[in-house]
């Protein structure tokens, strides 16, 4: 069979066929383009929902943590604090023994109880979020530094910027809890004798640098070990920083102390 191009109907059929096939190819290409766009939209929507979910989880965690800390703080203040005060009163009403050794022990016990009462009051305050909200992050950090220094294990040097920036109350709570965690880690694991806390106000962010002269550690190894045990203080710290859109850099090596640099965008 041959093509009779003079045949008008045949020509129309051929042109119509070609047009349809061009449309077909165009349709598939356009569909692929549309599908890609939809995929991106869908992925963005999923990311948004994931972020929303994480935020809700974070809020409820914070709420639970605040309630627990509040409860512990009240227990320390109202219960343990009262018992310590009562012991203190009893010790003060105790007749001074004639034996010098017993008298020294009694004096020492009175001092210890007074120190216990003070430490418990400070600990109760540092756990109490309401109390913390009244003071703000910078004052609370000062008090926390004083409390740690009072333990006599390390000396704490705090360097605050002047003037201190105004931060969101929720972010201040997070910052304080992160700072507490870093300082507690330094106290528990670093075997340091000195801790330096430097706060620096930059045009774009607030930088908080924690530095100790302790035994140091390998941050990558600590993160890996923590991930393997599905429990990591460092990973939790990083997560908490992510929640407030802050960045945490950990610099340390065995024998070289450790540095935690937290950068909070302003």
Partner 1 sequence: MTPDFWIYFTILLASSGYGIFHFRKMPAWLKALTLICLLTLLNEIVGRILAYSIRNSSPPYHIYVVFCYLLQCYIYTKIYKKTGFIRNYAIITAIILCTFSLTNSIFIQRPLTFPSHAILLASIFTLILILSSFVLMLRSPGESPLLAEASFWFNTANLVLYTTSFLYFALYNILIASGGIPDIYESVIAVFTILAYTFYGISLYLGNKKATAHDNQPGK
Given 36, 47, 61, 169, the residue binding partner 1 (CB under 8 A): 36
Kindly state the smallest distance separating residue 28's Cβ from partner 1, in Å. Answer: 6
Q: Choose the stretch contacting partner 1; rule: CB under 8 A; options: 35-43, 57-65, 69-77, 78-86.
A: 35-43
* Residue whose CB is less far from partner 1, 2 or 96: 2
Q: What is the 3-state secondary structure (H, E, C) of the chain?
A: CCCCCCCHHHHHHHHHHHHHHHHHHHHHHHHHHHHHHHHHHHHHHHHHHHHHHHHHHHHHHHHHHHHHHHHHHHHHHHHHHHHHHHHHHHHHHCCCCCCHHHHHHHHHHHHHHHHHHHHHHHHHHHHCHHHHHHHCHHHHHHHHHHHHHHCCCCEEEEECCCCCCCCCHHHHHHHHHHHHHHHHHHHHHHCCCEEEEEEEECCCEEEEEEEECCCCCCHHHHHHHHHHCCCCHHHHHHHHHHHCCCEEEEEECCCCCEEEEEEEEC
Size of the residue set binding partner 1 (CB under 8 A): 26
* Residue whose CB is less far from partner 1, 28 or 57: 28
Kindly state the smallest distance separating residue 182's Cβ from partner 1, in Å. Answer: 37
Q: Choose the stretch contacting partner 1; rule: CB under 8 A; options: 8-16, 110-118, 153-161, 214-222.
A: 8-16
Q: Choose the stretch contacting partner 1; rule: CB under 8 A; options: 39-47, 83-91, 247-255, 258-266.
A: 39-47
User: In the range 41-70, which residues lie near partner 1 by CB under 8 A?
Assistant: 42-43
Q: Choose the stretch contacting partner 1; rule: CB under 8 A; options: 19-27, 161-169, 171-179, 243-251.
A: 19-27
Q: Rounded to whole angstroms, how far apart are CA atoms 247 and 263?
A: 5
Kindly state the smallest distance separating residue 33's Cβ from partner 1, in Å. Answer: 10
Q: Choose the stretch contacting partner 1; rule: CB under 8 A; options: 23-31, 139-147, 196-204, 210-218.
A: 23-31
Nearby residues of 237 by Cβ (< 8 Å), 6 or more positions away: 178, 181, 182, 248, 260
* Residue whose CB is less far from partner 1, 31 or 94: 31
* Residue whose CB is less far from partner 1, 7 or 202: 7
Binding site residues, partner 1, CB under 8 A? 1-4, 7, 9-10, 12-14, 16-17, 20-21, 24, 27-28, 31-32, 34-36, 38-39, 42-43
């Amino acid at each position: 069979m041959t093509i009779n191009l003079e045949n008008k109907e045949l020509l129309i059929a051929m042109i119509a066929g070609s047009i349809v096939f061009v449309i077909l190819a165009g349709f598939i290409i356009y569909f692929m383009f549309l599908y890609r766009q939809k995929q991106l939209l869908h992925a963005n929507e999923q990311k948004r929902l994931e972020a929303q979910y994480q935020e809700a989880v974070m809020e409820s965690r914070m709420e639970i943590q605040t309630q627990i800390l509040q409860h512990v703080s009240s227990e320390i203040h109202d219960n343990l604090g009262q018992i310590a005060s009562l012991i203190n009163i009893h010790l003060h009403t105790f007749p001074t023994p004639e034996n010098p050794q017993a008298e020294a022990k009694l004096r020492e016990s009175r001092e210890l109880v007074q120190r216990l009462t003070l430490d418990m009051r400070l600990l109760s305050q540092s756990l109490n979020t309401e109390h913390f909200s009244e003071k703000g992050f910078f004052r609370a950090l000062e008090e926390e530094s004083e409390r740690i220094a009072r333990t006599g294990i390390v000396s704490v040097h705090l360097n605050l910027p002047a003037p201190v920036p105004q931060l969101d109350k929720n972010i201040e709570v997070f910052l304080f809890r992160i700072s507490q965690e870093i300082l507690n880690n330094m106290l528990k694991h670093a075997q340091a004798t000195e801790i330096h806390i430097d706060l620096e106000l930059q045009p774009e962010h607030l930088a908080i640098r924690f530095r100790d002269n302790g035994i140091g550690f390998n941050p990558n190894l600590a993160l890996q070990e923590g991930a393997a045990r599905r429990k990591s203080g460092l990973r939790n710290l990083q997560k908490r920083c992510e929640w407030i859109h802050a960045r945490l850099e950990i610099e340390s090596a065995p024998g070289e102390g450790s540095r935690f640099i937290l950068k909070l965008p302003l």
